[in-house]
Amino acid sequence: MKAKKKKRQDDFQKVKLKVGKKKPKADNATNTNFRTKGIHLSEQLKRDTSGPTTHRQLGINDLLSQLHHYNANVKHSALLGLKELLSLTPSLLEQHLSRLLSEVAAVFTDKDGNVRVAATRVLRFIAQCVPAERVAPFFPLLSAHLSCAMTHIETAIQEDSMKYLDVLLEHYPALLAARPAVLLTNFLELISHRQNSGGAKKAQEVKGTNWALSVSIDRTVTSQQWRLSVLLRLGRFLQAVVEERPVEEGDMSVATEGVFGSTGEGRLKPLFLNWEELTYSKAGVKVYEHSGAKPTPRSSYRLRPEVAPGGAVGENLDSAEAVQSFAATLVPLLLEVWVEASASDSSWNSTDSAHLLTPDAMSVMFQVLSILQLLRKLAPQQEQQESLDAWFRKEYLGDFKQHFMKNFPYGTQDTPKHKKKVDLKRSKQSAAVSAPAVEPLALNITLCQVMVSLGQRQGLSRETDGDWLTLLRTFVRDTLSTGVKLSYRQLHMLLGTVWKMVLTQRSKTLTEDLLAAVYVYYKQKNLTLQTRSLLLSFYSKLYLQEQGHTHLARSKVLCRWLASLPVQLSQLGHRNPFLSERLILSIQAAAARGNKDLLNSLQTQACRLYDPQEGVVVLLPVESQQRMVQLLYFLPKMSQPLLANLSCCCTAGRISAGLAASLIRIIHLRSSLSGWSVGSQEVALQDVDYISFLFSTLTGFSSDKLASLQEAGDESALPCSPLSPLSLYPTPLEQFTHHWDIVEEVCHCLETLGSKSQCFDILQNGICKYLTKLAVVPDSMAAGLLRAVSRLLDLSVLPIEPVLRFLSQCCLSLLALLITLQQEAPTETNHKREAIWGACILALSTVPRLLRMVLQLLRVGDLSEEELPQLGQVLSMLLQHTPLHNQLLANTALLQEIIQHLTRYSRTATREQWLTDLLYCYSLTVSHGSSSHRGNMGLQDMY
């Protein structure tokens, strides 16, 4: 015992320190007998000055690297610095777009809420500056980070993921809609979870109830508010998918401009290919039926890019099976959401006020109905939509009637407002997820559109549809006929409902009732242009369905609407060219079908519509003018006042020469003299009126205008002289050219009437009766008359003396005008001079005795000294024209006498150049004709 105790004491002996002795060093003592030197790295302390920096002297690389820092404050300040730097230097977006998107998207799932909010702001700034085509290569990465945020275990990150989704839906909806399958699954997981119930699993999957609504107590908002927030984004996402999906013609529920238009153009978007780029690219393109043209309605082939091997068929929801499978999962969840919202609504406890909803319940129901409507539109083809509607009717019609139609129509419950202490934090949270206020009218209209798609065609066991369809029909009729103010979208949805009811129920009484309600709304004043165009398109498209639906044939409302179109067009005029164009399109469609009510109304308003001063035919753009001219072919009758207006329209220059020629040809075809008719179409005008129209158009001036030109003191007309027997009114070059083209068309119509001699006889009688007494004549009319007489001349009918005298005066006056135009403006009037010279020469060479009468009008003794050279130039021009040599030789005596008088009255000592040229030309003509003088002796009697 003593030995053991002693040994234990030896192990723990205390060191005794003695006074004056040094303390022994410990075994682990540190030796401090060493020196250190500092190492200074000057490059390490330098800032990055190679590019733009923030106010903290941080560049783009520094800021992006700080996003990987463990401290949330550093990441938050880095995001703020990024927004500052990109605002100051937008060019950095193009240079670092890939890194910016990847680094910013990586913090979508950050644990700190301030960092996520800052990331949302930076993403919004980038989206506002960068277009979709630049972001497309990096969008799969953005979509992947978005999916991670939406499926994150943290509820706060899930809530913030909705903000990221809002930014992408606002700026890049097409990119989000490209591959919707993953995001749609994420939406389901945000509000529900899968159920694993063992043996009952198969039965649930058949009914689509293998998903159940989930409840989380960790959220900052209630479960109902969270589901409403998710449904809002789901609706916007499905809307983006529908808008980017090609839709065939015939879908009347798509809210786009011109859906009810009668143009016949669908919304199928063609795929434009650049074959030069595809030559060197690896992506192939498969070309299917019709070589890329618009496929037939029954065809499922499309021109589409080649899909990579292994791609899922239903990934883009481009088949009816994929859409139906997704709807089978989503629709039960939507019904559960509505049942939960309606159960919490206190108004449902009372039977009398069951149709009154609180704002929250109304928002939930509106979102549910909107998503149901969008689910129908996911099917791109008409056949798929019909099969999808039939599936909806079979599976959910009973549920929809129980939950939606039981208390239809709905209204807003008036809740008393109590003053309570406002919690700022809670109010901000509720404001962040609250849906926009929904009006009862918008809710009821959406419900109508959803339910009417479930209706069956008449004759297919529609007995069970009578109760709820009657409610819908009554609401639609009352809404349209009571003057309720509707927005464009609401009106479009109501018209789509009417369209569906009319074409599916096929009842004449129902159709007249609904169309009368639409017509009441149509007659309202102060409707916007967009609304008026939509109503016009609806009626026009419905009228085009008349042949295939007997209940639409001879509809009184449609006939009343058609009869009012010409009146509206005449009243509207040119104040709104776009709306006038829509009216003309509707009128043209009905006129082509021979609608008597419209044609009678059109004939009544024809004089106003075709007025040469205030009519729409001269005031609207060119495209509308062409359609107005085409309408003339369908007019039952053309009265004399209308023909007078049409003649003025052709000659006044308010429409183009080509369009005026088309107008003349249409009138020619509607006359009996053309010898051309189609079917049972009657002759629209009498022969006398037709000839009168051609003669008035040939002159180019109305009787009132010609009468005003005859007034004394008109300084615009050239004065008459011995060399110019008529006072010519110089028309502007543009007007002259326009009239010359019309003269050619009139001559062509006159030449095709059959008897040429009768046409010439009518023409010269008109000249003798209306034109020979004129003292002032427009030069375009004089040239046109010479041209027409030359083309219509028949040697069996010789011109009468008054007409021949008037034509000779016109010819001589025009020849004198040629000399003046050549001296004053030889370049600007080149076309006019050629036309006048050609008309004069053709008339002098073809009309008998015209050249002789022209030479007889040349009285040299009455000419002034300034006019002698002009006469010499006229004669020189005639002598130099070879086709006139025979006619000139036949009048050699007159010509020789005129030249002798010119030589005698020329008082200059030396012979002037014009006289020398005249004598030279005369000598050549006489010497050339001396050999054939004997053969030309017979021409003296004719010329």
- The CATH number that applies at residue 160 is 1.25.10.10
146 and 121 housed in the same domain: yes
837 and 894 housed in the same domain: no
Could you give the CA distance from residue 413 to residue 120 in angstroms, rounded to a whole number?
Answer: 37
- pLDDT score at 807: 93
- pLDDT score at 256: 41
For residues 352 and 140, the model is more confident at 140
Average pLDDT over residues 604-622: 93
Most confident of 167-176, 301-310, 670-679: 167-176
Could you give the CA distance from residue 633 to residue 679 in angstroms, rounded to a whole number?
Answer: 13
843 and 883 housed in the same domain: no
- pLDDT score at 7: 53
Give 712's pLDDT tier (boundaries 50, 70, 90).
low
Could you give the CA distance from residue 619 to residue 572 in angstroms, rounded to a whole number?
Answer: 11
List pLDDT tens digits, range 81-114: 998 888 888 888 888 899 999 999 999 999 999 9
Give 44's pLDDT tier (boundaries 50, 70, 90).
low
- pLDDT score at 427: 46
- pLDDT score at 246: 62
Residue 211 within any structural domain of the chain: yes
94 and 237 housed in the same domain: yes
Record the tokens describing residue 928, joined without a space.
Answer: 């050339």
Residue 234 within any structural domain of the chain: yes
Domain boundary among 829, 857, 885: 857
Could you give the CA distance from residue 207 to residue 395 in angstroms, rounded to a whole number?
Answer: 9
Could you give the CA distance from residue 504 to residue 454 in angstroms, rounded to a whole number?
Answer: 10
Residue 669 within any structural domain of the chain: no
List pLDDT tens digits, range 268-320: 444 555 555 555 554 555 554 444 444 444 444 444 444 333 333 345 676 77
Give 258's pLDDT tier (boundaries 50, 70, 90).
very low
Domain boundary among 247, 274, 289: 247
238 and 180 housed in the same domain: yes
If one counts every other C-beta atom within 10 angstroms of the C-beta of residue 533, the result is: 22
Could you give the CA distance from residue 285 to residue 306 in angstroms, rounded to a whole number?
Answer: 5
Average pLDDT over residues 236-249: 77
- pLDDT score at 495: 93
Give 648's pLDDT tier (boundaries 50, 70, 90).
very high
- pLDDT score at 53: 78
End-to-end, the C-alpha distance of the chain in Å comes to 175
Q: Strands (DSSP E) along 600-725, which ranges?
A: none
Give 695's pLDDT tier (boundaries 50, 70, 90).
very high
784 and 922 housed in the same domain: no
843 and 914 housed in the same domain: no
160 and 102 housed in the same domain: yes
Q: Is the pLDDT of residue 170 over 70?
A: yes
Q: Is the pLDDT of residue 434 over 60?
A: no
187 and 89 housed in the same domain: yes
List the alpha helices (DSSP H) in 44-135: 60-66, 72-88, 91-95, 97-106, 113-129, 132-135
For residues 6 and 580, the model is more confident at 580
Residue 117 within any structural domain of the chain: yes
68 and 201 housed in the same domain: yes
Which is it for strands 304-305 and 727-729: parallel, antiparallel or unpaired? unpaired
Give 856's pLDDT tier (boundaries 50, 70, 90).
confident
Give 825's pLDDT tier (boundaries 50, 70, 90).
low
- pLDDT score at 202: 47
Q: Report in angstroms the alpha-carbon separations of 578 from 533, 536, 660.
A: 9, 12, 23
Contact 810, 782 (CB under 8 A): yes
List pLDDT tens digits, range 406-424: 888 888 876 555 454 545 4
Domain boundary among 184, 216, 247: 247
Give 910's pLDDT tier (boundaries 50, 70, 90).
low
Could you give the CA distance from residue 880 to residue 921 in angstroms, rounded to a whole number?
Answer: 7
Residue 175 within any structural domain of the chain: yes
Q: Which domain holds residue 745?
A: 731-857
Average pLDDT over residues 349-370: 80
The set of residues, in sequence order, having a beta carbon less than 8 Å from that of 867 and lying 6+ positions away, is: 721, 722, 723
- The number of domains in the chain is 3
Record the tokens describing residue 430, joined without a space.
Answer: 């509720």
Residue 705 within any structural domain of the chain: no
Give 677's pLDDT tier (boundaries 50, 70, 90).
low
- pLDDT score at 866: 79
132 and 195 housed in the same domain: yes
- Out of 577-591, 625-639, 811-825, 904-918, pick the least confident: 904-918
Q: Is the pLDDT of residue 331 over 50?
A: yes
Residue 517 within any structural domain of the chain: no
Q: Is the pLDDT of residue 19 over 50?
A: yes
Contact 733, 831 (CB under 8 A): yes
779 and 907 housed in the same domain: no
Q: Is the pLDDT of residue 336 over 60?
A: yes
List pLDDT tens digits, range 505-515: 888 888 899 99
Q: What is the mean pLDDT of the chain?
A: 80
- pLDDT score at 255: 43
Residue 174 within any structural domain of the chain: yes
Q: Is the pLDDT of residue 8 over 60?
A: no
